Amino acid sequence: MHTKNSCCCCSFEEYKHTTDWLLNQTSHRPKMAVICGTGLGMLADLVSNKQTFRYQDIPNFPVSTVAGHEGCLVFGTIKEKSCVFMQGRFHLYEGYSLCKVTFPVRIFKLLGVETVIVTNASGGLCPDFKVGDIMIIKDHINLPGFAGQHPLCGPNDERFGIRFPCMSDAYSKDLRKLAMDIIAELGYTNFVREGVYCMVSGPNFETVAEARMLQILGSDSVGMSTVPEVTVAKHCGLRVFGLSLITNKVSLDYSQEEKTNHEDICLISKMRAEMLQKMVNTLISRCPAPTDQDINTN
């Protein structure tokens, strides 16, 4: 059961109320936000000057109901850069509307955040991918969006963005290039890939026939999150960088006996914890301020 109301549409007044509450509670003024996927909450462990708020204590905020999502908003600094981390996100399959799933992204916008780093755990569809690989997201497929489950449906609030945002450049090319340079320096090139992430609504893992279809569509990995947040971030004029940890190989063969489970996904996330921390923290420390071209949503 959710402990807070899961309404279908959030008002600007709700966003403003939550933002004002946070601004009154902390002196941090973050320019970067990191959304931590399943088992990846440890990305916030190295933050200095840390200030943590439980989701249930923040006005209007949803609460995490899934294992591997701690449910805390962590403010702090990394190499003197002010950041905010979401230790846990929200999903359609929890029963939340997409308005609530993406609620924090619009809070980030009002807080003054300019860049959002999204992370997730996903299943590998590309035959070249191995469990434990890290995929830099270069593009995505929004399957729920094709069916009308889209975070921008309904009246458009011009205070956040334009009615029809372009998504062909959703993931920053400059940040992807910077990340590849960092990966080479860290010696991670053997297990870092670049690819297309596909979102399904879940909560079940895919059938063999579904997985084969997604592969034909051009998906390299599949998961149950991220795309709504990226869509709203782009709508708000925020710059986006995405990382997907390949925690399992999606079954494409009926003879395959190994089955995907949530516990193994969390375990793989822990195994890559230190490397992901180094990668994300180095990216944050070197991330330049966005240019006008980066934030252009037309």
Tell me: the pLDDT tens digits for 188-236?
999 999 999 999 998 999 999 999 999 999 999 999 999 999 999 999 9
91-122 pLDDT per residue, tens: 999 999 999 999 999 999 999 999 999 999 99
* Structural domain includes residue 4: no
* Structural domain includes residue 1: no
pLDDT score, position 270: 74
* Structural domain includes residue 6: no
Res. 135: pLDDT tops 50: yes
Structural domain count of the chain: 1
DSSP state of 57: G
pLDDT score, position 296: 58
Q: 3-state class of 185 per DSSP?
A: helix
pLDDT score, position 59: 96
* Structural domain includes residue 132: yes
* Structural domain includes residue 296: no
Res. 6: pLDDT tops 80: no
* Structural domain includes residue 140: yes
Domain CATH for 170: 3.40.50.1580
pLDDT score, position 294: 67
* Structural domain includes residue 113: yes
Contact 199, 142 (CB under 8 A): yes
- 68 — pLDDT class (breaks 50, 70, 90): low
Res. 241: pLDDT tops 90: yes
Domain membership of residue 216 as a residue range? 12-286
Strand pairing partners for 179? none
Query: Mean pLDDT, to the nearest integer, of 276-292?
Result: 89
Angstrom distances, CA of residue 139 to CA of 124, 151, 228, 292: 15, 18, 13, 21
* Structural domain includes residue 292: no
Res. 60: pLDDT tops 60: yes
pLDDT score, position 5: 41
Query: Mean pLDDT, to the nearest integer, of 269-295?
Result: 83
Under 8 Å CB-to-CB from 97, ≥6 apart: which residues? 6, 7, 8, 9
Would you tell me how many other CB atoms lie within 10 Å of the CB of residue 35? Answer: 26
Q: 3-state class of 221 per DSSP?
A: strand
- 169 — pLDDT class (breaks 50, 70, 90): very high
pLDDT score, position 257: 66
Average pLDDT, the chain: 90
